[in-house]
């Protein structure tokens, strides 16, 4: 899922997420061990993804399936932190509240 508010992503990050989806069902990029966006779902989730109507539906999907973090050198993955908190609710406040890390 590529959030609309991710204009700072590097093309290489998208490639790494896509590549990781060939071996993992759900993946997300992480910059300096902080989870970010976009979250990659394999095609097996298509029917569930198209039925989603709210962010709560999305949060439930994420909670049901284990996700694999992949290291990237791209602080742009941290622009949208809303879903990041879904993966790591125990992140320190300075990370969970930031909109971008530079």
Instruction: Report CA-CA distances (Å) from 49 to 23, 60, 87, 98.
Output: 19, 11, 18, 27
More confident position, 27 or 100 = 27
Predicted confidence at residue 1, as pLDDT, reads 56
Predicted confidence at residue 16, as pLDDT, reads 96
Q: Which residues contact 59 (CB under 8 A, 6 or more apart)?
A: 86
Domain boundaries, the chain: 11-95
pLDDT tier at 24 (50, 70, 90 boundaries)?
very high
* CATH (one of 3.90.550.10, 3.40.50.1220, 1.10.1270.20, 1.20.20.10) for 11-95: 3.90.550.10
CB 21 within 8 A of CB 43: no
Instruction: Report CA-CA distances (Å) from 72 to 10, 65, 94.
Output: 10, 22, 20
Instruction: Report CA-CA distances (Å) from 78 to 30, 99, 102.
Output: 8, 7, 10
């Amino acid at each position: 899922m590529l959030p609309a508010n991710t204009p700072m992503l590097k093309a290489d990050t998208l490639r790494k997420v896509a590549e990781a989806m060939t071996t993992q069902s759900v993946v997300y990029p992480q910059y300096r061990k902080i989870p970010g966006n976009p979250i990659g779902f394999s095609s097996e989730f298509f029917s569930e993804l198209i039925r989603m109507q709210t962010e709560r539906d999305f949060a439930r999907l994420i909670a049901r399936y284990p996700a694999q973090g992949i290291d990237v050198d791209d602080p742009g993955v941290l622009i949208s932190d809303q879903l990041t908190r879904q993966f790591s609710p125990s992140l320190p406040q300075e990370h969970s509240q930031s909109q971008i890390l530079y």
